[in-house]
Amino acid sequence: MSSRPTLAAVAARAGVSASTASLAFAGSPRVAPATRERVLSAAAELGYAGPDPLAASLRRGRSGVVGAFIGERLLYAFRDPVALQLLDGISEVLSAHDVGLLLLAGDAGRPSANQIARVPLDAAIFATCGLEDDPALDQLRARGVPIVAVEGPDVEGVALIDIDDRGGTRDLARHLHDLGHRRVEVVAMPLRLDGTSGPVTPERRALAHYRDVRHRIAGVEDVFGLVPVYETPSNAVDEGAAAGRLLLDVDPSRRPTAIVAQSDVLAAGVLQAAAELGLRVPEDLSVVGFDGAELPWLTPTRLTTVVQPSDEKGRLAARAAMDLVEGGAPTRVLLPVELRVGTTSGRAPSSDRSAPR
């Protein structure tokens, strides 16, 4: 009936002071083994399960919890294999430090200000959201919570983990160019999460929230100049398929010979659309993706893509977070990516082919 026993109660029963009991639980070498034993068995008798994490956190000034901000609703965010690997990497490192991982994703995709205010965070990782004007960002900074951004907002005082989106897409584009492709179109991930889809206008592009999306467009343009970009409302297979149908179901003379999807998931959708329309890949159409995600159901097709180290990204982000907690200064990292040629890219159809280089 009475409330749980406290450290003081245990100490009293063991005949030691609270400070000693605390030391005993912390496993300090300054307490004699025999004493520790006494304390521990007193605790067992009282059903004391160890120091209250809340009280300990308050005193220590650390909560042992790191928050991960997910830009979308959980359900959608984790359909993305890259987001999943990222989070897995984060979780792996945090666990090793006995630190908890708090998921922050609201109903509308964005955690409420209230929620952020109530939750004790040692650090925050912006995992799949890239808003420089995110209100949560200011809120956290005001509170003095260290922040790590993964391909996220590039702001003073924030640690940054980036991958070479632009270089990677450039390699991809060059690969296609070498194969003789000249009519290339891009299927883009959302530029911001407002449900918009369709051809991307310059105005729209100026509104882009996500740096990776911008960079992945820029990489293609480095090689092909201005290309049509079609924005999907969400990074999902079916949206890729929908975009694919629109771009491919046109007069063959206007049909692109290659599609650069900004993610493997979108690319899978485009492949699906191509199959529906009876287009052979890569004979009639090349499709390339980005991420190097594991999509077992794609077998035996192997997507031409750019492999990024998603899990390493997560691990680095978590380590950066732990570093900041320890008082380290924010750093920036740029991770390399690697082109992986699969079975979905080939020479441009002969009627369209230009002599390579």
Partner DNA sequence: AACGGTCGTCGAATCGATTCGATCCGAGGC
Partner DNA sequence: GCCTCGGATCGAATCGATTCGACGACCGTT
Q: Please report, as ranges, the residues that interact with DNA according to CB under 7 A.
A: 3-4, 6-8, 15-20, 22-23, 25-26, 29-32, 34-35, 51-52, 54-56, 58-61
Q: State the residue for tokens 């369709």.
A: 198
Q: Which of 42, 136, 200, 237 binds a second copy (CB under 8 A)?
A: 237
**How far is residue 277's CA from residue 288's CA, in Å, rounded to a whole number?**
18
The single residue among 20, 22, 63, 263 that binds a second copy, judged by CB under 8 A, is 63
> One-letter amino acid identity for 154?
D
| Residue 22, binding choice from DNA, a second copy, none, Cβ under 5 to 8 Å by partner class | DNA
Helix or strand run (H / E) with residue 260? strand 258-261
Q: Build a one-symbol-per-residue string for 9-48: x at contacts with a second copy by CB under 8 A, - elsewhere.
A: --------------------------------------x-
Tell me which stretch binds a second copy (CB under 8 A): 84-92, 165-173, 180-188, 344-352: 84-92
Residues 240-269 that bind a second copy (CB under 8 A): 268
- Can you tell me the distance from the alpha carbon of 170 to that of 329, in angstroms, rounded to the nearest whole number? 32
Least Å from the CB of residue 110 to a second copy: 10
Among 125, 179, 208, 236, binds a second copy (CB under 8 A): 236
Report the C-alpha gap between 226 and 217 in whole angstroms. 9
We find the least distance from the C-beta atom of residue 199 to DNA, in angstroms, to be 50
From residue 92 to residue 121, what is the string marking binding to a second copy with x (rule CB under 8 A)? x--xx-xxxxxxxxxx---xx-xx-xxxxx
Nearest one of 176, 142, 128 to 282, comparing CA atoms = 176
In this structure, what token pair is assigned to residue 107? 């109903």
Task: Name the binder of 274 from DNA, a second copy, none, CB < 5-8 A by kind.
Answer: none
Distance CA 153, CA 137 (A): 9
Q: Give counts: helices (H), strands (E), the chain.
A: 14, 13
User: How many CA atoms lie within 13 Å of 188's alpha carbon, on the beta-carbon side?
Assistant: 32
Measured distance CA(255)–CA(129) in Å, rounded: 33
**In angstroms, rounded to a whole number, what is the distance separating the alpha carbons of residues 105 and 296?**
28
Residues lying near a second copy in the complex (CB under 8 A) are found at 4, 47, 49-50, 52-58, 61, 63-65, 67, 73-75, 78-79, 84-85, 87-88, 91-92, 95-96, 98-107, 111-112, 114-115, 117-121, 139, 142-144, 236-238, 268, 272, 296-297, 311
